[in-house]
Chain A
Amino acid sequence: MAKARTPAQNGDVNWPEVLKKYRFSKNMKQASLAEDLNVTQAMISRWESGAIAPGRDMQGRILAMVEQETLATPMVGWRQFVTDQPAIAAVIDPDGRIETVSVGLIRETGIGRADMEGQRIDGVFSGDLLKLFSWLSTIGFFDERVETVESADRYCIHRPDGAEDSFCVHNMHWWRRGEDRRPRWILTGARVDEAEFEALREEFGAQARIMPVD
């Protein structure tokens, strides 16, 4: 019985068929596919006519594109959405344990996922974030009494290799109930420069404030 060809064995892939099928399924013009693959439209035309085959590197990109494109997925849950965030984001439990960190937080801190998740925040950060955590507890954030908080914080981080670093972040915080119905602190933020940091502190009149309702 003939088996469907798996893209892994791409020595004899029918490139005209793969490209056209993909393009037609997306209702795309050759020009927009060319743009996506960063080649000329004439090149797409030659691949599709079978005049030439894509180069080796390009073959990998095309297959990755075709495979990923056809992947159907369920809606991602909120925790996965935090994990995938390109911005700074984290989920922290009421005891100050970091449960989930985002791609952005890993990128900005240079600390790996395994070295943050499961740690208490004071094991990774010092200074402003710890002050913020105790202030949030004081104002009843973890008792669901406050909806949204914003803050300007200087992140002081301890890398596992002993290196220290610090940078300024404009943060926004809210809570949502976790899988066990206990509230979780959802931290999100973007890095800002010193001048913006000072301006935010001035605007808030403090490190943090409860977000005003419009």
Chain B
Amino acid sequence: MMDTRFNNSEIYWPAVVRHYRVSAGLNQTELANRLAVTQTMVSRWEAGGAAPSRRVQDLLFDLFWADSATISRDVWMQRIAHNPCMVFVVDAQGVVQTASRGFARLAGCSPDEIAGRSIDALFEGDAMSLFERLSEAGFFEGRIAGAESAELYIGRDQAAGSRFFAHGLHRPVFMPGPQVLWLASGSEVTQQNYEDVRERLGGPSVLRKAI
């Protein structure tokens, strides 16, 4: 059962604003100019004294997007569906929005059988723990810059082939809504690789907070 406490992630604007500003190498005045607001306003958002208006929220997420990709979000989603590697996008409720062809291949089914279902319903073990860990750390609120992990995926209702070790890389994607989605990309690895990654990380995953 999905835990309901994950179901209302609100964006934590102080982290998102500061994260974007620092990543883009801007000072408060420069960011204020880009968003057509005053520097005082940017300072208040970062201090948590006020939340950006809806217009600015969307603009900020669009800037985030433009800095990391040169294509539209629609084309990007479509590209993920065709991706031969293990890639999936999950929302704050733990529901898979898009799964790649490569991920479906590993899970032993088609991408359509994965999209729209919750991680919890699809896999036993590590995948759900990782989602919970990200969620509890505020990933869907924009508090996390990235994460790395090693998991054992065990399909709940698929054939015997759907048990595989994976090495994953995770980052937030800023989508309209505004909402933060979890982009997981990775690769199937040998059990030895999986153990080596866990050893290096000092555990199943390492999360990096947004500045």
User: What residues make up the interface of A, taking CB atoms closer than 8 Å to B?
Assistant: 26-28, 32, 35-37, 60-62, 64-65, 68-76, 78, 81, 84-89, 103-104, 107, 147-148, 150, 169-172, 174, 176-177, 188-190, 192, 196, 211, 213-214
CB atoms of A85 and B23 under 8 A apart:
no
A61 to B20, CA, bound (A): 31
List the B side residues contacting A74 at CB < 8 Å. Answer: 19, 22-23, 145, 210-211
Contact A147:B71 (CB < 8 A) given known A35-B129, A87-B187, A172-B82? yes
CB atoms of A150 and B84 under 8 A apart:
yes
Q: How large is the interface on B (under 10, 10 to 19, 20 to 34, 35 or more residues)?
A: 35 or more
Q: A146 CB to closest chain B CB, in angstroms? A: 13
B208: contacting residue among A64, A73, A174, CB under 8 A = A73
Further pairs besides A26-B136, A87-B102: 13, Cβ < 8 Å: A35-B129, A69-B207, A74-B210, A75-B67, A75-B171, A86-B187, A86-B189, A87-B86, A107-B189, A150-B84, A189-B84, A190-B188, A211-B82
A196 to B108, CA, bound (A): 13
B137: contacting residue among A26, A171, A172, A192, CB under 8 A = A26
CB atoms of A73 and B211 under 8 A apart:
yes
Q: Is the interface of B mostly helix, strand, loop or mixed?
A: mixed
CB atoms of B82 and A85 under 8 A apart:
no
Taking CB atoms and an 8 Å cut-off, the chain B residues in 173-211 that contact chain A are 185-189, 193, 201-204, 206-211
B201: contacting residue among A68, A103, A172, CB under 8 A = A68
